[in-house]
Amino acid sequence: MTIQKWAMAAAAATLAGFAGWAQAAELNIYSARKEELIRPLLEKFSKKTGIGVNVVTADDDVLIQRLKAEGRNTPADILIMADAGRLVRAAQADLFQPVKSSILNKNIPAQLRQADGLWFGLTIRARVIAYSPERVKPGTLSSYENLADPQWKGRICSRSSGNVYNQSLTASMIANDGAEKTDAWLKGMVANFARPPQGGDRDQIKDIAAGKCDVALVNTYYIGGMMQSKDPAERDAVAKVAIFWPNQADRGAHINVSGAGVIKNAKHRKEAIRLLEYMVTDQSQEWYAEANSEFPIREDVPKSKILAGWGEFKADALPISALGELNSQAVMAMDKAGWR
Ligand SMILES: [Fe+2]
């Protein structure tokens, strides 16, 4: 496990290091988001409020396990996660405390936060169909359900079922279509795979570009990330795919959030809430969403140029807490269908 720790201190606590963790006007964050995606935002927060911020970054499940092990003794005040499924998992492990904030409730749609204030969505991503415009007529695409149609036999690239993004999508299918229809959908999808599931979302895009398959499910920010990549191979690959917004004629595209909650035994509860409120301000939202090519949680905040270029889309209105609540059912259904 690699955990990086960096400390910023607005006040004189700079040299206090770990000893500073117990002091007032400090905030300790466990983050599953990469450091570069949050650091500038936290620096601005520190400058503005005088609250020093310490961050530990690691994978979602590593942080959840660590918080469970640390229990009441944890120094953590806030947990930031990159998926609703993980936020729900943390809430089920009783890691969060309820937060009542009119600022958060006003700025974050009810669909995108936990009803008791255990966690709050802070940025939005959609899971869309990436396709080869050379080999796929967009008129033949329509919905997630349609990907089970035999016309896609041998044409779909997919990452494994072990990844939470496909689990969350499957959970949304169960919520919208029911368990039986979802079983049939999974079976049909898996039968259409071009190769055994492998790689991350970026690899599915690269394989479409390389002609190994024609369509794949990917999160929007990977497309934005590849468009702005320093690696010319990534820019070339993504230039060969187009995005299709699924289910626009019915419920809308599947969306998910990155988000955060205040830790149950947080020693800096007030500062923690202040940071969450800071993260939904206009400026923070614009920067935070743009840093990872995500959509702001607030509709009134402008999207980045790249995202605006993709046009408007209809999003599934399903409360995203359902994605976590149906996670284990989704995992079992994927396993039963042979999605490795
Ligand atoms: Fe991701």
Question: Nearest-CA neighbor of 215 among 141, 145, 113, 289?
Answer: 141
Alpha carbon of residue 230 to chain centroid: 22
Determine the distance separating the centroid of ligand 1 and the alpha carbon of 216, expressed in angstroms.
Answer: 15
Determine the distance separating the centroid of ligand 1 and the alpha carbon of 229, expressed in angstroms.
Answer: 15
Determine the distance separating the centroid of ligand 1 and the alpha carbon of 35, expressed in angstroms.
Answer: 14
Can you name the residues that pair with 295 across neighbouring β-strands?
124
Determine the distance separating the centroid of ligand 1 and the alpha carbon of 160, expressed in angstroms.
Answer: 14
Determine the distance separating the centroid of ligand 1 and the alpha carbon of 138, expressed in angstroms.
Answer: 25
Q: Contact 297/124 with Cβ under 8 angstroms?
A: yes
Confidence (pLDDT) at 268: 96
Would you give the end-to-end CA distance of the chain in angstroms? 25
Determine the distance separating the centroid of ligand 1 and the alpha carbon of 156, expressed in angstroms.
Answer: 20
Determine the distance separating the centroid of ligand 1 and the alpha carbon of 16, expressed in angstroms.
Answer: 34
Determine the distance separating the centroid of ligand 1 and the alpha carbon of 26, expressed in angstroms.
Answer: 29
Confidence (pLDDT) at 36: 87
For tokens 């800096």, the residue is 268
Determine the distance separating the centroid of ligand 1 and the alpha carbon of 228, expressed in angstroms.
Answer: 16
Confidence (pLDDT) at 10: 39
Determine the distance separating the centroid of ligand 1 and the alpha carbon of 61, expressed in angstroms.
Answer: 14
Determine the distance separating the centroid of ligand 1 and the alpha carbon of 69, expressed in angstroms.
Answer: 26
**Region 168-175 average pLDDT:** 97
Number of H helices, E strands in the chain: 14, 10
Examine the pLDDT at 4 and tell me if it is beyond 80: no
Q: Dig out the tokens for 192 from the structure.
A: 């259409």
Percentage of the chain exceeding pLDDT 70:
93
- d(CA 219, CA 241) in angstroms, rounded, equals 13
pLDDT digits (tens, 9 = 90+) for 199-226: 999 999 999 999 999 999 999 999 999 9
Q: Is residue 279 very low, low, confident or very high in pLDDT (cuts 50, 70, 90)?
A: very high
pLDDT digits (tens, 9 = 90+) for 30-67: 999 988 889 999 999 999 999 999 999 999 999 999 99
Percentage of the chain exceeding pLDDT 90:
89
Q: What is the CA radius of gyration of the chain?
A: 20
Confidence (pLDDT) at 148: 98
Q: Contact 164/182 with Cβ under 8 angstroms?
A: no
- d(CA 58, CA 4) in angstroms, rounded, equals 8
Determine the distance separating the centroid of ligand 1 and the alpha carbon of 94, expressed in angstroms.
Answer: 24
Within a 13 Å sphere around the CA of 79, how many CA atoms are in the beta-carbon half?
35
Residue 211 falls in which region: left (phi positive, over 0), alpha (psi -120 to 50) or beta: left
Can you name the residues that pair with 216 across neighbouring β-strands?
130, 157
Confidence (pLDDT) at 11: 38
Determine the distance separating the centroid of ligand 1 and the alpha carbon of 292, expressed in angstroms.
Answer: 10
**Region 263-269 average pLDDT:** 95
Q: Dig out the tokens for 117 from the structure.
A: 């204030």
Q: Contact 263/79 with Cβ under 8 angstroms?
A: yes
In this structure, the strands spanning 120-131 and 215-219 are antiparallel
Cβ neighbours of residue 14 closer than 8 Å, sequence gap 6 or more:
7, 52
- d(CA 187, CA 324) in angstroms, rounded, equals 22
Q: Is residue 25 very low, low, confident or very high in pLDDT (cuts 50, 70, 90)?
A: confident
Confidence (pLDDT) at 3: 46
Q: Contact 122/280 with Cβ under 8 angstroms?
A: yes
Lowest-confidence region among 110-124, 197-211, 259-273, 287-301: 287-301
- d(CA 240, CA 130) in angstroms, rounded, equals 10
Determine the distance separating the centroid of ligand 1 and the alpha carbon of 200, expressed in angstroms.
Answer: 8
Determine the distance separating the centroid of ligand 1 and the alpha carbon of 14, expressed in angstroms.
Answer: 32
Within a 13 Å sphere around the CA of 17, how many CA atoms are in the beta-carbon half?
0
Examine the pLDDT at 19 and tell me if it is beyond 50: no
Confidence (pLDDT) at 35: 86
Burial 295-304 (b: 16+ CB within 10 A, else e): bbbbeebebb
Q: Contact 297/123 with Cβ under 8 angstroms?
A: yes
Q: Is 0.85 topped by the overall pTM?
A: yes
